[in-house]
Amino acid sequence: MQGNLTALLITASIIFIVVVIGFAAGRDKSSRQSVEEWSVGGRKFGGLLVWFLVGADLYTAYTFLGLTSTAYTAGSVAFFAIPYSVLAYFIAYFFLPKLWTVAKNHNLTTLADYARERFDSKLLSSLIAIVGVLMLIPYICLQLSGIQDTLTVAGTNYINVNAVVIISFILVALYTFFSGIKGPTYTAIIKDILVWVIMLFMVVSLPIIHFNGWTPMMSTLAKEAPQLLTIPEGGPKGILWFITASGVSALALFMWAHAATGVFTAKSADAIRKNSMFLPLYNIVLILVIFLGFIAFLVLPEDTNPRFALLHLIQTSYGGVMQGLAYSTIALASLIPCSIMAIGASNLFANNLYRDLIHPNVSPKRLTIITRSMVFIVIGLALLFGMLFPTALVTLQLIGVSGMVQIFPAIAISLFWKKQSREATIAGLVVGIIVTFTANISQVTFGLYEGFLGLLANVVVILILNPFFQNKVTSNSVMNDLFEKDHEKTEAITNEV
């Protein structure tokens, strides 16, 4: 299909405005004077800013393009995204405030920092950092593919898509280097407002445009494609897969480096609790976006590439102005999460690999510039990887979820289990990763999500080995912060009674 010049100009203009705002957000030198200021904004963001930031961070172009593509090809299996995100916020309500408090008290900016201090183990923190960086690169690549697909549809016969994508991501790397977390935070406000307005407009208007309303659309769907409305009982993506994929994805969501970065920007534990309560509102958009995949199935030609289902649906349904607003929304949902992900990955590499393993005595000023500079390497690797292995990205990201959930015991469980030992935790993490990748390669999953098998092995190993090492667990400042205060509260309540 021919691109639309009006849509392309609107998309380019909005992206340009957002990039300028990203640079402007960092005009204050304080935003880059230390790793804490650059990566987590000095932990000064209120509840509303955190809501916009985490929403922009977690609801990406891959969310919208991927869900419509999945709904287009596999139907109601796509709905697994709804229970998993609801479960994720419910679980987060109980452990994220405690994690934030420890991170604040001990000046920690990554999950690997927490693991190092909690377990007195640079080995464990390095393993978590390696897993975090390796799993995040394909995720950043997916953001690359999101803007690449958008510009391909909008700019066919008008632009060199690869050149524009490279320029776009260089600009993102520059404003991320310059502004730190403040850049994507303030631009996230624009992106999230566009998501709500444009996506809600589309889910209202598209059924009217093509079917004269939602009721006729659902009747047509039930008559012509009833298979899209049911989840298979068996097979590789049946009920068991749906349940275990939802559970694993929920546990993994805040193990991602970029999600943790968003959480650590909050100015209080109460802001985290409130966000856990109100972030599920984004699921309203998710539910409706899945139905866009069903509409695309009914409207678009049979030979449509599922990857472009949403974009071609927009192209065939609207004029240039609306196309431009929709494309710019999807493009921003690629660029802004990419910036936050690059901050998370750079922070892991600089703090938990370079400082902890290579140069323990590095000065704060040098560490800050190294952390900021890593943004160019991370985004560069993502660009290179995406161009060399474009067909492997979705598979690698799904493996990434299975990989990231393996650090859940080391992070979330250790917040509540005083006698959890580093030896058992390290062994569990390694076994979990091995089992996950073995299941993926062999395709022997018994109908379960591969990450579930890995996490099950991980937890079993910890439970078996921990009794042999729990006597070696010694107290430290983080342990005191986590458990001694709880003990004092319990004693105070007992004395009152």
Question: Which tens digits make up the pLDDT trace of 166-212?
Answer: 888 888 888 889 888 888 888 888 888 988 899 889 989 999 999 99
Per-residue CA distances from 255 to 252, 270, 304, 314 (Å) = 5, 20, 35, 34
Q: Would you place residue 47 in the very low, low, confident or very high pLDDT band (cuts 50, 70, 90)?
A: confident
Per-residue pLDDT band for 456 (boundaries 50, 70, 90) equals very high
Q: Is the pLDDT of residue 110 over 80?
A: yes
Instruction: Please tell me the distance from the alpha carbon of residue 46 to that of residue 275, in angstroms, as a whole number.
Output: 10
Identify the sign of the CA torsion 54, 57, 58, 64. Answer: positive
Pick the CATH number of 5-392 from 1.20.1730.10, 1.10.600.10, 1.20.1530.20, 3.10.20.30: 1.20.1730.10
469-479 pLDDT, tens digit each: 999 888 899 99
Decide which of 30 and 311 is more confident.
311
- Cα–Cα distance measured from residue 237 to residue 242, given in angstroms and rounded to the nearest whole number: 7
Instruction: Assign residue 420 a region (left: φ > 0; alpha: ψ between -120 and 50; beta: otherwise).
Output: beta
Q: Which neighbouring-strand residues pair with 45?
A: 266
Q: How much is the average pLDDT of 446-467?
A: 94
Instruction: Find the mean pLDDT for residues 119-130.
Output: 94
Q: Where are the domains of the chain?
A: 5-392
Place of tokens 């190993």: 461
The pTM for the full model equals 0.89
Stretch among 74-78, 262-266, 349-353, 484-488 having the lowest mean pLDDT: 484-488
Q: For 156-213, where are the alpha helices, taking DSSP H only? A: 161-179, 182-211
pLDDT in the model for residue 492: 46
The 10s digit of each residue's pLDDT in 217-258 is: 999 999 998 988 888 877 777 889 889 999 999 999 999 998
List, in order, residues 6 or more apart from 282 with CB less than 8 Å away.
Answer: 55, 58, 59, 85
